[in-house]
Amino acid sequence: MIEQIVIAICGIASVFLSQDPRRSWARWACVFGIVTQPFWMYATWQANQWGIFALSFVYAAGWLRGIRTYWRPL
């Protein structure tokens, strides 16, 4: 149940922040997105949903790319 709450809150936040026109806010989308990924991995592992489990690693790679882009020192 906890993982579903974290997925919902952080997932919604990451989607909305990713579309924010302010770069200072949009950069937080990848942080919320990457926080959500372990919960996705756990929930799909427990449910034997192997396709979504594998896909969560692809999403994690995408969010890590955002962290590298927005949070790397210039």
* pLDDT per residue as tens digits for the range 6-52: 999 999 999 999 999 999 999 999 999 999 999 999 999 999 999 99
Taking Cα atoms as reference points, which of 63, 57, 58 lies closest to residue 10?
A: 63
Domain total in the chain = 1
pLDDT of residue 74: 65
d(CA 74, CA 62): 20
Check the CA dihedral 55-45-17-69 and report its sign: negative
Q: Which domain holds residue 59?
A: 2-71
pLDDT tens track for 46-69: 999 999 999 999 999 999 999 999
